[in-house]
């Protein structure tokens, strides 16, 4: 431990010399402020910088622009340390742990693994800043895609099948984020906000049994707590980025949620829409349970007959069978009518035999797993209550990391 600390200190003093070898990055008596004015040189200023090796003092030429009323420090831009006392390397580490685990655990990991001593609050703040920077990049990409000005993805090989899978999951939030929203528990007050998550992946082949195989490392994720309208452009932009324009087939996978199919109709016109088979099966099991009870031969009979019809994509037979049910209670009658409505509305999204013949995925397991890993394992740990802003920053951070874009993000920040 002591040895490592000493070597860190030596490395640190070398780094300090190196960082100050330019004499502060003086670029003359005046420079362009970035807004078309001249900013004049004032003095050299010191900044205490926490780096991976140690704390160092960095000398930087400070300029001031009178019209803007702002200071300009070219060297901070070059070193990517504008408005922060942490080097990109240290911030990256904080984002790495802050995206992965609770901020306090992240702080401990930084201390043990890297000898970097910071507060829990700092890990939280920097992780959120990084998430917000990622989101800012996403937003400007999205703007370009939505304006239709760019062809963002051109590849020689056409993507055979491109899937867009969408789901929602609750994130526990602080009380003020749910004011006036209805919840499901006995208090009637909402305690969570829905995060929408989407993933895009591709498929080239099927296995020997004819089942769809997802292309390795082809899954990217986007997500946020936001309206369906905003999420619609988010997932659309992601699909475009992934080469949707060149895909031979586009498939939308989701459960029965109305907002998902609203997005599909608006942004993915002509795509094949598929309701997750396992959700549809749950609907059947629910009816069977209501009408026949669980510990019952009739439950199994009815349920397995409907499942066969479902596998065959014979939704009309299911609707007919539901129509033949004569439950006694008014409540159950109403439930059955709701289910008939569900199967009617989604009939074309349940032609499973046909989808299987085409070698398509019929389950949205990928996005459900995504909800568990990206949201559940980080944002839904016990005792956690998020602000929407904080949650969205961490969701952006995790989506970036899980999509294999973390490296790319830091490279995009490096100047020169």
- Residues of this chain that interact with Zn ion (CB under 5 A) are 33, 35, 37, 65, 67-68
Least Cα distance to 193 among 211, 179, 214 occurs for 179
| Minimum CB–partner distance for residue 40 and Zn ion (Å) | 11
When the beta carbons of 40 and 281 are compared against Zn ion, the nearer one is 40
| Minimum CB–partner distance for residue 12 and Zn ion (Å) | 35
When the beta carbons of 20 and 30 are compared against Zn ion, the nearer one is 30
| Minimum CB–partner distance for residue 24 and Zn ion (Å) | 21
Least Cα distance to 405 among 219, 149, 237 occurs for 219
Quote the Cα angle for 159-363-380, to 5°: 105
Contact 253, 363 (CB under 8 A): yes
The H or E element spanning position 306 is helix 297-311
When the beta carbons of 33 and 90 are compared against Zn ion, the nearer one is 33
Least Cα distance to 8 among 118, 115, 117 occurs for 115
From the CB of residue 48, how many other CB atoms can be counted at a distance below 10 Å?
9
| Minimum CB–partner distance for residue 65 and Zn ion (Å) | 3
Contact 225, 193 (CB under 8 A): yes
When the beta carbons of 67 and 85 are compared against Zn ion, the nearer one is 67
The H or E element spanning position 304 is helix 297-311
Q: Strand locations in 147-255, DSSP E?
A: 161-172, 192-206, 212-214, 220-224, 249-254
Exposure b/e, 298-336, CB count within 10 A at least 16 = b = ebeebbeebbebbeebbbeebbebbeebeeeeeeeeebb
| Minimum CB–partner distance for residue 378 and Zn ion (Å) | 41
| Minimum CB–partner distance for residue 44 and Zn ion (Å) | 20
SS3 243: coil
When the beta carbons of 65 and 240 are compared against Zn ion, the nearer one is 65
When the beta carbons of 32 and 80 are compared against Zn ion, the nearer one is 32
Least Cα distance to 238 among 215, 256, 222, 226 occurs for 222
Contact 1, 14 (CB under 8 A): no
| Minimum CB–partner distance for residue 60 and Zn ion (Å) | 18
When the beta carbons of 41 and 409 are compared against Zn ion, the nearer one is 41
When the beta carbons of 41 and 259 are compared against Zn ion, the nearer one is 41
Tokens of 308: 């066969």
| Minimum CB–partner distance for residue 27 and Zn ion (Å) | 15
């Amino acid at each position: 431990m002591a040895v490592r600390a000493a070597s860190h200190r030596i490395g640190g003093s070398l780094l300090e010399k190196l960082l100050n070898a330019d004499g502060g990055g003086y670029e003359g008596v005046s420079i362009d402020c970035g807004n078309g004015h001249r900013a004049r040189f004032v003095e050299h200023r010191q900044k205490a910088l926490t780096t991976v090796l140690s704390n160092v003092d960095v000398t930087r030429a400070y300029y001031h622009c009178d019209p803007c009323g702002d200071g300009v420090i070219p060297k901070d831009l070059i070193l990517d340390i504008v408005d922060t006392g942490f080097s990109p390397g240290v911030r990256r580490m904080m984002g790495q742990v802050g995206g992965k685990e609770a901020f306090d655990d992240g702080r401990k990991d930084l201390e043990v693994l890297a000898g970097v001593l910071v507060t829990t609050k700092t890990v939280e703040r920097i992780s959120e800043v990084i998430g917000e920077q990622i989101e800012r990049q996403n937003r400007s990409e999205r703007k370009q895609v939505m304006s239709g000005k760019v062809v963002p993805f051109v590849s020689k090989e056409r993507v055979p099948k491109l899937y867009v899978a969408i789901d929602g999951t609750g994130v526990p939030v602080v009380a003020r984020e749910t004011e006036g929203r209805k919840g499901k528990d006995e208090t009637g007050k909402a305690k969570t906000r829905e995060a929408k998550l989407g993933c895009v992946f591709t498929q080239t082949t099927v296995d020997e049994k004819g089942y769809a195989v997802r292309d390795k490392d082809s899954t990217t994720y986007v997500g946020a707590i936001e309206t369906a309208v905003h999420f619609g452009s988010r997932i659309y932009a992601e699909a475009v980025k992934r080469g949707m324009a060149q895909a031979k087939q586009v498939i939308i996978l989701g459960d029965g949620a109305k907002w998902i199919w609203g997005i599909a109709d608006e942004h993915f016109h002509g795509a094949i829409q598929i309701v997750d088979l396992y959700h549809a099966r749950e609907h059947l099991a629910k009816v069977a349970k209501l009408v026949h009870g669980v510990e019952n031969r009739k439950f199994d009979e009815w349920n397995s007959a409907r499942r066969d019809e479902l596998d065959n994509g014979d939704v009309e037979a299911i609707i007919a069978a539901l129509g033949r049910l004569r439950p006694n209670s008014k409540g159950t009658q109403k439930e059955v009518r709701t289910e008939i409505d569900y199967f009617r509305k989604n009939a074309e999204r349940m032609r499973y035999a046909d989808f299987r013949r085409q070698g398509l995925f019929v389950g949205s397991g990928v996005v459900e797993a995504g909800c568990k890993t990206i949201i559940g394992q980080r944002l839904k740990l016990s005792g956690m209550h998020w602000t929407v802003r904080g949650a969205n920053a961490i969701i952006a951070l995790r989506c970036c990391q899980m999509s294999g874009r973390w490296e790319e993000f830091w490279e995009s920040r490096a100047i020169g």
